[in-house]
Amino acid sequence: MKITVLGSGYVGLVAAAGFADAGHQVQCIDVDAARVAQLQKGEVPFFEPGLAEVLERVIRGGRLTFGTEIDREHRSSEVYFIAVGTPPLPDGSADISAVHVAARTLRDVVETPAVVGIKSTVPVGTCDGVQAIVDEGARHKLRVASVPEFLKEGTALADFMKPDRIILGVADAETERVLRDLYRPLQLSSERVLVMDRRSSELSKYASNSMLAVRISFMNELSRLCDAIGADIHAIRRAVGSDRRIGNQFLYSGPGYGGSCFPKDVSALAFRARAAGVPLEVVEAAGRANEAQKTYVRDRALSMLGEDVKGKVVAIWGVAFKAETDDVRETPALPLAKALVEAGAEVRIHDPEASANFIRWYNLPVKPFESEYDAATGADLVVVMTEWRHLRNPNFARLHSLMRTPNLFDARNIWTTFELNKAGFSYQGVGTNHGHT
């Protein structure tokens, strides 16, 4: 099938590469000429495990091309996907102006009847608005569908090729048929398609992300309670997760969620619900709890340095919002790094993928290190903020010998089994009752 994807960001590029790898003929469009030139050379503009290899394969096979405009061949694509950004506005709502620009572009250039699938995360009712745009003066019938993407950064390709579900929000049987044909290569082992109306499909993406955000925020709040009363969040997680009605996914406490999806999607859903006169109090509370967790982790880490932070050396291990990505948007490492800098500490960072992005995005005077041990040399505190695999089992004897003051703050609770307080460290986790009451 011939496909065009508008937008080469995280969702758009993974979808374009994934569809091409499944045998479809794909063109991926972006208005950023420099980004397109980079992609044409097979260079991925962000870190996602395995994506560079897939991109090289489908470009070499001639199944994926890039451009700043839809070429003549792809003006007769059977499906067009809109996968442009929908960043948050100051009031918390989603900015869908780029979606409307893409819709007007399609209306003006498409030369045959086609399906327009919206993969961008958009508020309920956006498909109706896009349908009105493409219907206005269109030369051919464009049928708009909601096709939300459920990709996790770090495992996006696997999520795309073997999805838990494929949601199709459609208004007619022909659109459903075309999209079922398109996704057939991704369902060889089992049927995963869920068909519904467009508004339900749009809401499903927000509902899924917000549900996960609620689980994370609830466990983070419990971790604070555990610290206050001397309980262990690991024991709580095992007890709660053993209940088959609840399950054990997304029950880990930590420094708070970040990234490009949860913060903006929680905010956008809360805004849309209030605009509809049905405020979602639980969703709003999850957002507030997440910000409180970031502040709590920041303050706990600072407290390990004593009253005078000026001149202290702090190494932050991991600045990406999660492992296996270079995404630093809304990263929990930011409040800590900012507070340390403002207090006069020397801040060093180590992250295998995200250090450059962190410095570029936030313009803080922090020093990046390729080696976690070099970052920790002479440090008064090491804080692990991202659970990269190589940080889960460091050489603690070496680390102890390198540090000026052996303080460790484990915001991800990945070192709780090492009995580090007995090994000469002052060690604290979050909600684990290790050295903190």
User: Among the listed ranges 186-190, 297-301, 354-358, which one has the minimum average pLDDT value?
Assistant: 186-190
Residues 95 and 146 in one domain: yes
pLDDT-based confidence at 435, cuts 50/70/90?
very low
Give the number of domains in the chain. Answer: 2
φ, ψ of residue 315 in degrees (nearest 5): -105, 125
Give the mean model confidence (pLDDT) for residues 363-387.
98
Residues 236 and 172 in one domain: no
Residues 53 and 191 in one domain: yes
Q: Which among 196, 227, 247 is the end of a domain?
A: 196
What is the residue whose two structure tokens read 């976690």? 372
- For the question of residue 261 being annotated catalytic, the response is yes
Tokens read off for 221:
């709040």
pLDDT-based confidence at 187, cuts 50/70/90?
confident
Helix (H, G, I), strand (E, B) or coil at 372: helix
Residues 18 and 92 in one domain: yes
Distance CA 322, CA 195 (A): 32
Residues 185 and 202 in one domain: no
Instruction: Report the relative pairing of strands 142-146 and 2-6 from DSSP bridges.
Output: unpaired
Which of 150, 130, 294, 265 has its CA nearest to residue 198?
130
Between residues 434 and 302, the one the model is more confident about: 302
Residues 187 and 333 in one domain: no
Is the pLDDT reported for residue 436 higher than 60? no
pLDDT for 434 equals 53
CATH of the domain at 74: 3.40.50.720
Distance CA 3, CA 424 (A): 59
pLDDT for 139 equals 84
**For a pLDDT cut of 70, what percent of the chain falls above it?**
99
Which tens digits make up the pLDDT trace of 301-328?
999 999 999 999 999 999 999 999 999 9
pLDDT-based confidence at 188, cuts 50/70/90?
confident
Residues 341 and 420 in one domain: yes
Q: How would you class 173 by CB atoms within 10 Å of its CB: exposed for 0-12, middle for 13-18, buried for 19 or more?
A: exposed
**Residue 218 half-sphere exposure, CB side, CA atoms within 13 Å?**
15
Residues 337 and 264 in one domain: yes
Distance CA 102, CA 271 (A): 24
225-233: long-range contacts, CB 8 A cutoff, minimum separation 24: 225/431, 226/431, 226/432, 226/433, 227/430, 227/431, 227/433, 227/436, 227/437, 230/433, 230/437, 231/431, 231/433, 232/431, 232/432, 232/433, 233/413, 233/430, 233/431, 233/432
Give the mean model confidence (pLDDT) for residues 132-140.
90
Which tens digits make up the pLDDT trace of 4-18?
999 999 999 999 999
Structural domain for 363, as ranges: 198-437
Residue type present at position 117: G
Category of 256 on φ-ψ map: left (φ > 0), alpha (ψ -120 to 50) or beta: left
Residues 206 and 325 in one domain: yes
Give the mean model confidence (pLDDT) for residues 254-274.
96
Q: Cβ contacts of residue 319 below 8 Å, gap of 6+? A: 328, 331, 333, 337, 349, 351, 354, 355, 358, 385, 386
Distance CA 167, CA 200 (A): 10
pLDDT for 274 equals 96
Distance CA 250, CA 94 (A): 25
**Residue 406 half-sphere exposure, CB side, CA atoms within 13 Å?**
15
Mean pLDDT over each residue of the chain, to the nearest integer:
95
Residues 253 and 348 in one domain: yes
Residues 106 and 191 in one domain: yes
Give the mean model confidence (pLDDT) for residues 28-44.
96
Give the mean model confidence (pLDDT) for residues 154-172.
95
Q: Which among 196, 229, 250 is the end of a domain?
A: 196
Give the mean model confidence (pLDDT) for residues 140-151.
96
pLDDT for 437 equals 37
Instruction: Report the relative pairing of strands 193-196 and 64-67 from DSSP bridges.
Output: unpaired
Is the pLDDT reported for residue 98 higher than 50? yes
Question: What distances in angstroms separate CA 432 from CA 241, 253, 410, 424, one per listed residue?
Answer: 17, 10, 10, 18
pTM: 0.92
Residue type present at position 241: G
Q: Which among 196, 231, 256 is the end of a domain?
A: 196
Residues 188 and 203 in one domain: no
Is the pLDDT reported for residue 248 higher than 50? yes
Radius of gyration of the chain (CA): 24
Listed in sequence order, the DSSP H helices in 136-254 are 156-161, 173-183, 198-229, 233-241
